[in-house]
Amino acid sequence: MSKVLNRFLKYVQFETTSNEKSQTTPSTENQLEFAKVLGDELKQLGLEDVSVDDNGYVMATLPSNIEKEVPTIGFIAHMDTSPDMSGKDVKPNIVKDYDGKDIVLNKENNIILSVDDFPEIKNYIGETIITTDGTTLLGADDKAGIAEIITAVEYLIENPHIPHGTVKIGFTPDEEIGRGADYFDVEKFGADFAYTVDGGPIGELEYENFNAATANISIQGVNIHPGTAKGKMVNSILIGMELHSMLPVNERPEYTEGYEGFYLLDDFIGTVEKTHMSYIIRDHDMDKFTRKKDVLKEVVKFLNYKYGDIVQLEIEDSYYNMKEKIVPVMEIVEIAKKAMKEVGVEPIISPIRGGTDGARLSYMGLPCPNLFTGGHNFHGKYEYIPVFAMEKAVEVILKIIEY
């Protein structure tokens, strides 16, 4: 078994699900425990300036072994897994010499990774694929990234004749709930630029992401016994439904792709008396992003005019498109493209239909494009990752460090 695979299989045994309802950083204690394990591993490998702070951020340095001045490069991945599905008791399934057919993940529950539903898996015929057992996510997002970064650095330590500049490593908590960069100390990290290793299928290289906001809506109704409700009852659930119906249907996630933005109704809890709704709002284009927020404000304004100031709206921006910060230093994208081509990987430049720590870090002064991990179907039971893709990610990291 390859080193990167062994690491990955070890790391996914740690439950590191983040919790958006928590007010602490990290949001779950298990993330801090995993951070300490990673810190110890980095020390054992011989890295310098290894630190694990109280918020769960891990940083370390591989010193330069050359005399000339070259940029300091960073590599960043996140430790948490998505709260969308359990990351506890992950039981990876190793499928060797994949034959191109459906993969039974869980016979007892008839959970199948279907070629019809996920045809891209046929690209990996003959390869070794790591899947879930159908009851949890896998955790390739982003423990594959962690394994790939550490394996690359270990290779440089074991081969000191390979010249390289200073390399910085950073592992963050709570990326999946949008807090991964909250307490990231860019100055302490000390890199001129960095790459998050947090992308999907092999070849992905991303320097554009959504502008993002969250919208929380509270609707105050009036609950009256239905027998005497005429002219008195105000059903907050129905008003919430009316609000949702007023937003563009074709701007929902299930109808969009590429650069197209959306509104996602993420939560809806209500009674006649009180309803709460939450949306996430996304668009790559800042003008369209602003327009989406304005549309929601206008809908709320109309409903308050219609029903009498019973709808409250709070919108908070989460992160912005890092393209604005990457374009002035596009050479760091070109370095990654060249590295991929030199190890036989065709770069796939595509916008991220989401965000990464790199988006916020780019606005904090650390330009940070995103590299592939090799994984597919993140955040759910159909997640899988080909082993050769992880190995190629290690090669790409090493090539980038060469420049």
The 10s digit of each residue's pLDDT in 203-224 is 999 999 999 999 999 999 999 9
The 10s digit of each residue's pLDDT in 58-87 is 999 999 999 999 999 999 999 999 999 999
How far is residue 265 from each of residues 240, 292, 382, measured CA to CA in Å?
11, 14, 23
Provide the CATH topology of domain 3-208+321-402.
Answer: Aminopeptidase (3.40.630)
Q: Which sequence positions are flagged as catalytic?
A: 80, 175
Q: Per-residue pLDDT averaged across 282-311, rounded?
A: 97
Q: 3-class DSSP state for residue 277? A: strand
CATH code for the structural domain at 211-319? 3.30.70.360
pLDDT on residue 355? 80
Q: Are 177 and 19 in contact (CB under 8 A)?
A: yes
Q: Per-residue pLDDT averaged across 376-403, rounded?
A: 96
How far is residue 214 from each of residues 20, 208, 262, 266, 396, measured CA to CA in Å?
13, 19, 12, 10, 35
Domain limits of the chain?
3-208+321-402, 211-319
CA distance 33 to 156: 27
CA distance 32 to 56: 5
The 10s digit of each residue's pLDDT in 78-131 is 999 999 999 999 999 999 999 999 999 999 999 999 999 999 999 999 999 999
The 10s digit of each residue's pLDDT in 116-173 is 999 999 999 999 999 999 999 999 999 999 999 999 999 999 999 999 999 999 999 9
